[in-house]
Amino acid sequence: MRRLLALLLLVAALVAPASQASRAPATLHREGSWLVDAQGRVVLLHGVNAVWKRAPYVAPSTAAGFTAKDADFLATEGFNSVRLGVLFAGVMPRRGVVDQGYLRATARVVKLLTDRHIWVLLDFHQDLYSERFRGEGFPAWAVDDDGLPQPVNAGFPGNYFLPATSRAFDNFYANVNGLADLYAKAWQAVAATFAQTPYVLGYDLMNEPWPGTSFASCANPAGCPAFDAQLLQPVYDKAIAAIRKADSKRIVWLEPHVLFNDGAQTTLGTVKPFTDPQLGLSWHQYCTTAGLTHSSGGKAGPDCGPQGELVFRNAAAYVKQHGFGQLLTEFGASDDLGDVTRITDAADAHLVGWEYWHYKEWSDPTTESADSGGQGLFTKDTDLRTLKQAKANILIRPYARAVAGIPTSMSFTHGVFSLTYTAKPSTGLTEVFVPARHFPRGYRVRVSGGTVVSKAGAPLLLIKAPREGSVRVSVVAR
């Protein structure tokens, strides 16, 4: 019996590491600019933003908020990522005090998504710094504007240009009264909460950083190296260090100054290179000529194509130079279907994943207005049956969710989906989401260099390549 017991203990010891590894949370990591899963497949993300900007700063468990039905909708319609708002005002409503109740409420939404294998990007969202300036993000105690008056309400984004708003940003970047330190502490609490949660994509450090009183220096194609190096990067360095105390694996996502959206470059990490190996560039695409009107339903102008292409090229050049992953984490914000089509087609061409703004209207104080035309996917937040079908036809599109190799091209035009990639068979199967809305009578597949191994007409097309080499896939309607 003693020998048998010793043998059983030995077997248990040998098996334990493999068992523990199998329980390790699902994560993505960066290889080059690609997002890669544990199998070694390149993962492309199609998703939405879900940011509740007013108290309680997280969507409630109601039809107007976010429930299991919402998570089921996203999973069924092929979305595999959500950029979820986690507001500083919610995490630390009092100076230095983390609200664990808020983190539990956020964890409810995260679990609904991750249980369905939807990747969640946690986003410290802000617009106009705080509610004091008719925006959201920072708690009232973190507003230090040196007592400057806010004489008018210029709305969004106009209030950025008012002196008090810019001064509040200046003081935050300067770490006045330890504001940037406490911001990092809040991030550490978030990372500690979700470090072991599977399907957490990572941490988006700050939405659309406004350069404060340095904004004029950023409004040019070269961007603003002094702001990037001296003000924004030190804040990011603090937050990265704090997160790494709690989570060493997830990608930390850095956003460039907000004028990057309009074609200005970012120079983050140029003077002082970042040393963390798992960083990503979270960037946005809004057209200047739609301009300030994108927040009020303006139509994209003829210059949007060239400007949009410039932003895609700037992002590609930056991640190549600095060794970052990348994700287009905002675009859209209206029912301008031409603009939404332009960006989703361009993202396919550049093989960039994306997250549309916004899942629902949620009484958004800095995007919604009387003439917005609607930023969300539904005409009525409480009723998923009111899905805007024309917009859904653009966003719910076929795409390669996971590529067993390196993708080289992807497109969906005139009802035909095409994909090419260089296969790495050892990483598994390539997965292509094929939505029924575009193929109501099923679809036909042509594959060269590989074999279809999924059932005919399955919503998830699976392709196996027998050897390394080029694979071509074409999907057409029956």
296 pLDDT exceeds 70? no
Q: pLDDT tens-digit profile of 382-441?
A: 999 999 999 999 999 999 999 999 999 999 999 999 999 999 999 999 999 999 999 999
Q: Quick one: which of 470, 398, 460, 475 has its CA closest to 429?
A: 460
14 pLDDT exceeds 60? no
351 pLDDT exceeds 50? yes
Which pLDDT value is given to residue 6?
39
369 pLDDT exceeds 80? no
Beta carbons of 59 and 52 less than 8 angstroms apart = yes
Beta carbons of 404 and 430 less than 8 angstroms apart = yes
Q: Which residues are CB-contacts of 123 (< 8 A; sequence separation ≥ 6)?
A: 49, 51, 83, 84, 85, 86, 204, 207, 329
Q: Quick one: which of 228, 140, 212 has its CA closest to 172?
A: 212
220 pLDDT exceeds 90? yes
Percent of the chain with pLDDT over 90: 88
**pLDDT tier at 150, thresholds 50, 70, 90:** confident
Task: Please provide residue 143's backbone torsions phi and psi, each rounded to the nearest 5 degrees.
Answer: -95, 110
Which pLDDT value is given to residue 367?
83
For residues 253 and 112, what is the distance between their CA atoms, to the nearest angstrom?
A: 22
- Mean pLDDT calculated for residue range 331-339: 93
For residues 282 and 204, what is the distance between their CA atoms, to the nearest angstrom?
A: 7
- Mean pLDDT calculated for residue range 228-252: 98
Which pTM was predicted? 0.93
- E strands present in 319-452: 325-331, 354-356, 399-403, 405-413, 416-423, 430-433, 443-448, 451-452
Which pLDDT value is given to residue 374?
84
- Mean pLDDT calculated for residue range 55-61: 98
- Mean pLDDT calculated for residue range 211-226: 97
Which pLDDT value is given to residue 286?
92
Beta carbons of 38 and 26 less than 8 angstroms apart = yes
Higher pLDDT, 408 or 14: 408
Q: pLDDT tens-digit profile of 435-470?
A: 999 999 999 999 999 999 999 999 999 999 999 999
- Lowest-confidence pick of 197-206, 340-349, 360-369, 397-406: 360-369
For residue 155, what is the enclosing H or E element?
A: helix 155-158
For residues 15 and 340, what is the distance between their CA atoms, to the nearest angstrom?
A: 50
User: DSSP readout, 107-151?
Assistant: HHHHHHHHTTT-EEEEE---BSSBGGGT-BSB-GGG---TT----
Helix (H, G, I), strand (E, B) or coil at 463: strand
Q: pLDDT tens-digit profile of 268-277?
A: 999 999 999 9
For residue 466, what is the enclosing H or E element?
A: none
297 pLDDT exceeds 50? no
- The residue assigned the tokens 């105390």 is 245
Beta carbons of 42 and 336 less than 8 angstroms apart = no
Q: Quick one: which of 158, 128, 156 has its CA closest to 143?
A: 128
**pLDDT tier at 300, thresholds 50, 70, 90:** low
**pLDDT tier at 302, thresholds 50, 70, 90:** low
289 pLDDT exceeds 90? no
30 pLDDT exceeds 80? yes
